[in-house]
Amino acid sequence: MRCDYCYNKDIVFAKDGKYSYKDILDFLKTRVNLLEAVVLSGGEASSYNLVPFCLKIKELGFKIKLDTNGTNFLHVEELIKLNLLDYVALDYKAPMAKFTQITHSNKFDEFSKTLDFLIEQNIDFEARTTLHSDLLSESDINEIINDLTKRGYKKEYYIQEFVETESNIGDLKRAKKSFDKSLLQSDLKIVFR
């Protein structure tokens, strides 16, 4: 994906990682009993076979959170079935009709499969959307909320504010349109952050 509001351009377009798995594990060894958990994010962390890495992290006693766009269902499924994830944050980028426009990818079906799986497994996870009100309207967010509800999602739905940085992938600036929270219709608890 190449979401315009993504602020991890350096990671998304990197050819090689700055640190090796060994470097990271060596660092984590110095943090045993000081930190509780490790967050795997990106770019898209689930693009890689994370099983061996997660096994090593678990051996050190850390919990693991995965931040994911959900487009690598088989990798996410494997990590969950092996009990290697303690928490998942799933980015619901946009309703189906705007998904390609927002993400510059056509992977809504893969995302959808991951969302359904997470709901069925009853794993500890959250659905969240980054909001730039020039890209997503109140009706778009209501469409996401309706989709989550129809699928059986009952947890808090997080709406994250777009953060303008020097490393956003797109040329986005602060939104020109305002977003009217009062127009949201939901039985879900909505949390803005």
CA–CA distance, 53 with 115 (Å, rounded to integer): 24
pLDDT band, very low/low/confident/very high, at 2 (cuts 50, 70, 90)? low
| d(C-alpha 131, C-alpha 141), whole Å | 9
Instruction: Say if residues 46 and 68 touch (Cβ distance below 8 Å).
Output: yes
Domain boundaries, the chain: 9-192
Q: Cα separation of 148 and 142, whole Å?
A: 10
Mean pLDDT to the nearest integer, 2-24 = 67
Asked if the model's pLDDT at residue 8 lies above 60, the reply is no
Position 20 scores a pLDDT of 84
pTM of this structure: 0.90
- 32-76 per-position pLDDT tens digit: 999 999 999 977 889 889 999 999 999 999 999 999 999 999 999
CATH fold of 9-192? TIM Barrel (3.20.20)
Percent of the chain surpassing pLDDT 90: 69
**Does the pLDDT at position 167 exceed 90?**
no
If you average pLDDT over each of 8-22, 101-115, 159-173, which comes out highest?
Answer: 101-115
